[in-house]
Structure 1
Amino acid sequence: MPWNVRLGFQIAAVCLLTLGPWSAVSAHAQSASANAPDKVQALITQLGDRNFTVRERAQSDLARMGIAAFDQLFGAMRDSDLEIARRAQYLIRSVEIEWTRPEFSEEVNAYLNRYGNLNVDNRRSRIGELSRLHTMDALSALCRISRYDVSEVLSKEAALAASIQFQGSSAEEKPQIIEIISERIEDSPRVGPSWLKIFRTSLNQPTEAIAQWEDQITEEIDLFTTRPALTSQQVVLDLVRWEVDQLREQGKQEEALATMEDVIRISAKFSESELLDLTTWFLDRKGPSVVGQLAEYHAKKSPALDGMPIGGPFGENPSLLYLLAESELVQDHIEKAELYAQAALELEPDSYDSHYLTAQALSDRGTYRWSRNEYRYVIDSFGDPMERESMLARMQLGELENDLGSPEKAAEVMWPWVEAVEKKFGPKNPLNSDRDEAISRFLARSYLFRATAAEQRGDLAAAKKDLDKALKYYEDEADVLIASYRVGQQDDMWKAKAKEHIDHTVDFYKPFVEKFQKQYEIFKENSRGDDFMGAQGSQMANYCNQYAWLVCNTYGDFDHAIASSELSLEMQPGNGAYLDTLAHCHAAKKDWASAVKYQRMAAMQIPHSGMIRQKYQEFAEKCKANNIEFETIELLPSPDSHFPETQEEGKP
């Protein structure tokens, strides 16, 4: 061999030993065609060769192949030959993935920027953000993460995030989803990509996919109990939730219940908050019987406290105990439900904040009777109605009664407090230094409740008198202004007075809203958005919503109200109250299709709000009357409807 050729080989050998295996070659430098699977597999086999030089050369060759060898190397990490497994793991962890792609949008690439340098929690957060976009390039990015993220857990989470986000895809979207998954996943042997393949199958062959999901759930639960480092509690739960939703869509509720039951055996180490989430999910998926099994499973591990009907966390946490009570109630086990509810009420007797928060949670779930009991417990615990805890409980109970269509009951709840405040401070000059804004607003809403009750009785004189008091206490309260405008339709003088107040309030909000709209556009152009706005963004979202709510329920620029409402939802996506406002804005323009669309979304977010349910039904009737097609939602009755006396009265 000529000396210069020998020298060339020597120099090459030195370079291979001194350079890192992936440092000299981009992950995309070699095409897949130059690295056929057979060639990659041959090199992987050589990683375990008895000859050190052969092993080193094979490792260097695989390093140069970059991402093209990723899939097969990943499989080799679990090779029975420990030398092959060790070297494959080293190569996999050394690969430099180019996460951002020129075909992705700026928004998606912003989430992928420096993805490989982030820790696990931050990468998980990026996966969550991508899953909320519901765009095809976001789906493509999630597929890419599932295939190439070295963390097996994150690979699975990305696959599930994509599957869950796109499970309700339209017929037009399905071919594109199938194409993206096929292109991005190819023949990856990893578990996460295999779940994406099952999801791909489910789009056109749901029955076949369900059987495959069942096998995956069994394997994942077994993996969680034997090798938890390769999965996570959240992965298992998301996998189960996906399967249950698919089964329920096909009307297979019994199979869905059986799948729910599979989760119980991995819940031994769940925290109380995790048990709350799981129990709530069981109830929302019509699995009350599974809640009872879950509670009994945990009760076996811990004896019941004195006087408590059940042991374990369900006998110690009032929120869990109320959920257990709800599970019995919806199965028409009334006595058992009341037993659990009474026991929950007696827990933590001196923690009034706990009772207050529990009452709110019960109201949100439509268990109004128990919510009222909790609010009453706080109210009755204080002799002075002006005590903070008592005042807040009265206000929330009053709002609950008003939302359920009984403003008279709402006023009755508030009036002992109103009388105590007016006795102490007097009815005049309500905004002096001795009375803060919250108290003035509560007074205004209390008079609003009484005025609305008078209006319903047809006593407009009493209604106007109470509205006048409400305006003096808090002239910018939108619902008071809306009620004044409504009453003014029957009285020209009152109408002029109401209009004066409305114009004043609109003039207050509108400059803030317009300034914020311009500000936010600048932030978005610089990719800073709501993250930059922080607490100010929350306040401005509230201003946008208040302005839109007032305008759409009275008069003014409805298009601007819609834009303002949409901006509030950009800042707080999925906010049920803000969706309700947007629906009312479209209704003001008689755009019934949009009105029912957003009211449906609001009802999904706040399913037990009486006013939101009523408006959804009203807008749905408008669509039917105008031959407008719309997507419906089943408005489920509240759990309270299972009480015999509630059924007799025909209302909550």
Structure 2
Amino acid sequence: MLTGSERFAALLRPANLRGLLPLILIVVALETGTAKIGVCETGGSLDALGTTADTLIEQLGSQSYATRLRARESLQRMGLEAFDELHAAQYHPDSEIAMTARHLVSSLLVSWSKETDPEQVREILHEYGAQTEDERRARIAMLAELPKHEGLAALVRLTRFETSLALSRVAALSLMRQTIAEDETAHRVEQIQLGLGQGDRAPVIWLAAYADDLKTGVVDAKRWDKLIDQQRQQLDTASAVQTTRPSILELVRVCANQAWLRGQTDDAQQLVEKHLDLVTPTTRELSEACRWAIKTGLYSTVLELRNRHTQLFDAQPMLLYSAAEALNASHDPEGGEALAVRALGTQPIPSDLETQEKWSPNDLAERAQSHREIADHLQSRGLFDWAEAEYRMIIDRLDIVSMPSTSARISLAQMLGDLLQHQQVVDVLTPLVNRISSDDQFRNQLNFQHRNLDAMRSMIHWHGALAKIEQGEIEQAKPMLEKALRIDPTNIDILIDMYRLEQDDPQWTQQTETLIKMSTRDTQKLIDERETQLRRPGQFFGMGGSLADLLNQYAWLVSNTQGDYARALRYSRRSLELLPNEPAQLDTLARCYYAVGDFQNAYATQVKAVQLMPHSPPMLRQLELLEKAAQADLPKQ
């Protein structure tokens, strides 16, 4: 029997050149990109097609040239339905079969979209196969983020047919990470099973298991444990070409998250802790692992990581804060507070001037910046007391004219404002504003940094007024609110607070309503101008973001005060079309629904906003308001 190379050499003999011509033409077509595989729409039996494909693949190694040629042409005509078998045949023991299969898989141009795909999906998949791997990865992310999960079928298709196993994994995991409503489950299972086929690629098997879990409503933890073990075994074998620790760790986290969402906390915990050795013992990797575990609610995982990597945790403030947060959530607030104090004292800013003078200005600025980043991160996680301690260390230990100190004051004031600690906002900002007013060099430096002095002055008067209102001193608050608005007329929240001021004063009411009408009129004028600009040819596409901000500003002011509520709702929806899934825009849309009396949609929309920004105090306060309104409205439904 001739070997693959001997059969290929035999084809080059003169007697065989005439028969070789069709093959040469096919190869030319492949190399020039004119050969093309389309998505098969026949809907025929996958088993039957699989058998045919397997038979044809074996014929690629036939001693008969005509048989090999017919097999190759038939596989081309079968389209993507032969892809699974061709992909497996790349590792066939017959070298000629393997070589031909690899050539077919890599050379053929695939039409990745179907006519039944939504328009956005077809646009994303246009010339998908001609892109680099990084670009294809970006397009997979775009498919996963489409509204109403319109990219579902395409993600299944890419999981099955993407030539890069790494990207096949990305497609599968992107699909599995999507949040779905209970009434979407049946359709999702149907779409996955319809497009998945019977391939034996690992990501295909994952999606099949995921669909089964959706169908039963229970995550099969033992099945996933075996699938993950199979991936781990590949790390130490020659087959681990595209299997990496990060890719397995991502699979573990997706599976654990699915189990946690279904209330299978023990299963989620066991899956994660069995594979904690996949987390590389570096500050970056441990921080990421802690963030994920806390977000998922697996606090014991953070504590286990600290037990395994105590030295690294004790040297890094953010890791200590993560462990402190985990202790708090594990009903050990004293232990959590002790760790937080320890974190604050780890890598601190020197407290005395003598030590600071030994540091270079750059080193001191870098240390302050690291604590600023820690404070910002703690604030984003809702750990406001610990964030305040970090901000105040920067403020207390650095000169007021240093940029890190200025930034920390402004951030702390904004956080305190969100927490309704109005007098503290005044106390934090007043020394800064006084110094700016008396120090020309400092003021010029801040102007260069685009710091808005008027905005800070306005905040002092605004929050000072709100502090007076809390004390029942309404008349003293009024002129402070008026001054705050005069200094910074762009802050519409001041107008909203003026409108909500509860007192019997017709003159104040009339004045406030006039100011609201003026503001909405001015904003409408800016909206009209921006709409006109965007309709002109060649305008910069990014201007849509500024239009979205204007629409959102109009909608927020009107929905919180008075005016055309229906228009406010339209504008809010439009802003979200321009900037999808923006928490602030969703927060506004919820308020607009509330203004028009649609309390159920108001609450549902606010839930989405809070999911995207779960620790925002203003959003949480509005969520509480809208939840009560929705519950009170239920008997009317």
Match of 1:370 among 379, 386, 391: 386
Distance 1:8 1:560 in 2: 81
Structure 1 residues 477 and 36, CA, compared in 2 at 3 Å: closer, same or farther?
closer
1:582 positional shift? 1.7
615, 628, 632: which one aligns with 2:622: 615
**What does residue 409 of structure 2 align with?**
394
Cα separation, partners in 2 of 1:66 and 1:591, compared to 1, 3 Å? closer
The aligned residue for residue 219 of structure 1 is 230
1:342 paired with 2:350, answer: no
CA contact (8 A) 2:57 2:89 kept: yes
Partner of 1:547: 554
Q: Tell me the equivalent position of 2:428.
A: 413
- TM-score w.r.t. length of structure 2: 0.84
- How far is 1:610 from its partner? 2.5
Q: 1:146 to 1:629 in 2, by over 3 A?
A: farther
Instruction: Give the aligned partner of residue 108 of structure 2.
Output: 95
CA distance in 2, matches of 1:101, 1:107: 12
Which whole-Å CA distance do the structure 1 matches of 2:45 and 2:561 have between them?
67
Distance 1:622 1:208, change over 3 A: closer
Structure 2 residue 266 is the aligned partner of structure 1 residue 250: no
- Identify the match of residue 185 of structure 1 among 188, 192, 196: 196
CA contact (8 A) 2:143 2:150 kept: no
Unaligned runs of 5+ in 1: 1-6, 300-309, 426-432, 631-652
Cα pair distance change 1:436/1:217, threshold 3 Å: closer
Cα distance change of structure 1 residues 560 and 320 upon mapping to structure 2, 3 Å threshold: farther
Q: Mind listing any 5+ residue stretches in structure 2 that lack a counterpart?
A: 1-13, 350-363, 441-446
Contact preservation (8 Å) 1:391, 1:417? yes
**Distance in 2 between residues matched to 1:18 and 1:289, nearest whole Å:** 63
Percent pairwise identity = 27
**Counterpart in 2 of 1:229?**
241
CA contact (8 A) 1:552 1:588 kept: yes
Other-structure match for 1:601: 608
CA shift, 1:404, in A, is 2.1
Structure 1 residues 127-136 or 360-369, which shifts more? 127-136
Contact kept? 2:113, 2:125, Cα under 8 Å:
yes
Of residues 367-376 and 94-103 in structure 1, the stretch that sits farther from structure 2 once superposed is 94-103
Which residue in 2 is equivalent to 1:580? 587
Please list the CA deviations of residues 240-286 of structure 1 after superposition, one character each: whole Å capped at 9, or x if unmatched.
Answer: 2332233223322122111121342112276x444433211101222
From the superposition, tell whether residues 163 and 60 of structure 1 become closer, same or farther in structure 2 (CA, over 3 Å): same
Alpha-carbon distance in structure 1 between the residues aligned to 2:175 and 2:120: 17
Retained in 1: the 8 A contact 2:186–2:215? no
Q: Residue 99 of structure 1: CA displacement? A: 1.3
Tell me what 2:360 maps to: none
Residues 22 and 64 of structure 1 are in contact (CA less than 8 Å); yes or no, is this contact kept in structure 2?
Answer: no
- Decide whether aligned partners of structure 1 residues 383 and 142 sit closer, same or farther in structure 2, where only a CA change above 3 A counts: closer
Provide the rounded CA distance (Å) in 1 between the counterparts of 2:609 and 2:277: 35
Post-superposition offset of 1:555: 1.5
Provide closer, same or farther for how the CA distance between residues 341 and 572 of structure 1 changes in structure 2, counting only shifts above 3 A: farther
| Alignment partner, residue 27 of structure 1 | 37
Is 1:21–1:64's contact at 8 Å kept on the other side of the alignment? no
CA contact (8 A) 1:22 1:66 kept: no
Aligned equivalents of 2:115, 2:376: Cα separation in 1: 48
Structure 2: distance between partners of 1:360 and 1:292: 23
Change (3 A) 1:622 1:292: same
Shift of 1:139: 1.2
The answer to whether the 8 Å contact 1:470/1:480 transfers is yes
**Following TM superposition, by how much is the alpha carbon of 1:107 offset from its aligned partner in structure 2, in angstroms?**
0.9
The AA in structure 1 aligned to 2:228 is I
Q: Is the 8 A contact 1:257 1:290 kept in 2?
A: yes
- How many angstroms apart in 2 are the aligned matches of 1:250 and 1:328? 24
Q: 1:336 to 1:139 in 2, by over 3 A?
A: closer
- Report the CA distance between 1:622 and its aligned residue: 1.3
Alpha carbons of structure 1 residues 456 and 337: separation in structure 2 relative to 1, 3 Å: closer
CA contact (8 A) 1:403 1:611 kept: yes
How far, CA to CA, are the matches of 1:245 and 1:516 in structure 2? 43
**Preserved CA contact (<8 Å) 1:489 1:495:** no
Distance change >3 Å, CA 237–CA 495, structure 1 → 2: farther
CA contact (8 A) 2:106 2:163 kept: yes
8 Å CA contact 1:288, 1:330 repeated in 2: yes
The number of aligned residues is 595
For residues 394 and 454 of structure 1, the distance between their equivalents in structure 2, rounded to whole angstroms, comes to 22
Structure 2 CA distance for partners of 1:318 and 1:516, relative to 1, 3 Å = farther
Q: Deviations over 1:508-528 (max 9, x none)?
A: 3222224445666x69xx9x9
Matches of 1:451 and 1:36, distance apart in 2: 76
Change (3 A) 1:169 1:470: closer
TM-score by length of 1: 0.82
Are the structure 2 counterparts of residues 295 and 437 from structure 1 closer, same or farther at C-alpha, using a change threshold of 3 Å? Answer: closer
Instruction: Name the CA distance, whole Å, in 1 between partners of 2:394 and 2:587.
Output: 30
Deviation at 1:56, TM superposition (A): 6.2
Q: CA, structure 1 residues 84+316, in 2 after alignment: closer, same or farther (shift >3 Å)?
A: farther
CA shift at 1:409, angstroms?
A: 2.5
Q: Distance in 1 between matches of 2:319 and 2:211?
A: 37
